[in-house]
């Protein structure tokens, strides 16, 4: 298994798909990397030479934010939003959707599992 940026990429898959296992590399960027370096994107990742793996790694270092650097950058942006007490920072702090989605229903991914709260007793339910 070739190792790029501290991540083992799958050897059995084509190079352009294997590169997508890196955080911050999607399909467009994977093709872009292959064509810039003159690699065949359909060639299996196990067939990459050590020189080609090193070239991919140096290109990723120089031109793109990937893996740890990108994760750190995103976390710093979220921390900045929290520090300046913006609405989006408030939503991050409360673990609620930040981009205008409704929360009365849905939003289970952000809110987590349902926590049922006992409801009020109605007027009809009360016995005299």
Q: Are residues 121 and 87 in the same domain?
A: yes
User: What is the span of the domain harbouring residue 50?
Assistant: 3-63
| Global pTM value | 0.78
Same domain membership, residue 102 and residue 50: no
Closest CA to 95 of 111, 83, 107, 71: 111
Nearest by Cα to 11 from 58, 39, 64, 53? 53
Q: Do residues 115 and 78 share a domain?
A: yes
Residue 81: CATH number of its domain: 4.10.910.10
| 7 bridge partner residues | 4
Of 13, 44, 18, nearest to 4 (Cα)? Answer: 18
Check whether residue 83 and residue 50 sit in a common domain.
no
Straight-line distance from the first to the last Cα atom of the chain, in angstroms, rounded to the nearest whole number: 75
Tell me the sheet residues that pair with 44: 14
Same domain, 38 and 14: yes
34-81 pLDDT, tens per residue? 999 999 999 999 999 999 999 999 999 999 999 999 999 999 999 999
In a domain, 48, yes or no: yes
Number of domains comprising the chain: 2
């Amino acid at each position: 298994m070739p190792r790029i940026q501290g991540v083992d990429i799958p050897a059995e898959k084509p190079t352009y798909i294997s590169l997508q296992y890196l955080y911050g590399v999607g399909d467009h960027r994977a093709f872009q990397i292959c064509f810039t370096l003159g690699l065949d994107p359909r060639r299996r990742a196990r067939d990459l030479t050590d020189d080609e793996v090193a070239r991919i790694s140096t290109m990723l270092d120089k031109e793109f934010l990937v893996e740890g650097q990108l994760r750190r950058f995103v976390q710093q942006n979220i921390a900045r939003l929290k520090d300046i007490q913006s609405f989006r920072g408030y939503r991050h702090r409360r673990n609620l959707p930040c981009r205008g989605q409704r929360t009365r229903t849905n939003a289970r991914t952000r809110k987590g599992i349902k926590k049922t709260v006992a409801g009020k007793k109605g007027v009809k339910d009360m016995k005299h």
